[in-house]
Structure 1
Amino acid sequence: MPASDYVKNLRAKVGQDVIMFPTVSAIVLNDRGEVLLGQRSDNRQWSVIAGMMDPGEQPADALVREVLEETGVEVKIERVAGVALHQVVYPNGDHCHMVNTWFRCRAVGGEARVNDSESIAVGWFAPDALPEMSPFAMVRIRTSLEEDAPAWFARPGEGEIAGRQP
């Protein structure tokens, strides 16, 4: 996945030190209650559809754009499902803190397919038959599946959420 010009310009100034980025994730459900997932091209892991916001972009706009760009699926946002910080170190050594806001969405159009170079596969999965995924991906899915649950967030002092059950 090529870095945007914005990220390249930041990296030219700070090197591999930590940069904090706003990001969004979509937990997209279809009419059968299946979850839309993508298998990432960089690490071959299955995950929810996610991406970085562009400067000046609203989170909801970024989310709709990312899902359509990566999967060809059009979505309607139903609610904010959670927000949390997670740390990422890329294979090249770049350090990031991603402030991720995830949304529960409903598929309203399009057809799930690999639609860009960020994924090698895209598919719908029943919640009880998900492929192996990171603990953070599982947190985002679990907190989104309840119909009218309040938005989830790490409580003050909880620190890293990976691997922890909300």
Structure 2
Amino acid sequence: MAGKTKSVVKTRKTLSVKDLSNEQVKVFQDVSKNSKLQHILLMESHFKCSHVEYFKAVEKELIEFSYGSSVKALNYDKETGNSFVVFDWEVEAINQNAEDNAKSIVAINSTYMVRYDISGSFDSEIVELFLRHVGKVASYPYFRNQVSQKSWESDLELPILPVISA
């Protein structure tokens, strides 16, 4: 890609695996051992691009890229073990030209549902942490692939999203 770009990662602070006590870590591990991934489903996808503005901004090195996710929905049924988490993923390219007031010129948004069956009854807070943590890592490669595919299809040469890990 011509020109320099700046990438920004959007994150939100929530309970982390690092914040757990030793006892909670054991429960988290038990949840992991007793869970079975059922589905990773694409629920919704949107792509928007202003090619002319994008290529002008790339030439002038005025692009800022950001990507991130948020939890849209989360559910854990202790009785049945059915659980799911829904993530909204987003990539955006913003024209930082002061005249344009930081205008979004490329946006890729996708929503994924990650569904697990969990055997046993566990503390809801730990299960929710598991769903947020593991579900994010499970759904991200699907979104990363989708961004790469849209970049190729639209000839944008967007930067490849980084690999994330647990």
On whether the aligned pair clears a TM of 0.5, the verdict is no
- After TM superposition, the score normalised by the length of structure 1 is 0.25
Give the number of the structure whose residues are more often helix, by fraction.
Answer: 2
Task: Calculate the TM-score normalised by the size of structure 2.
Answer: 0.25
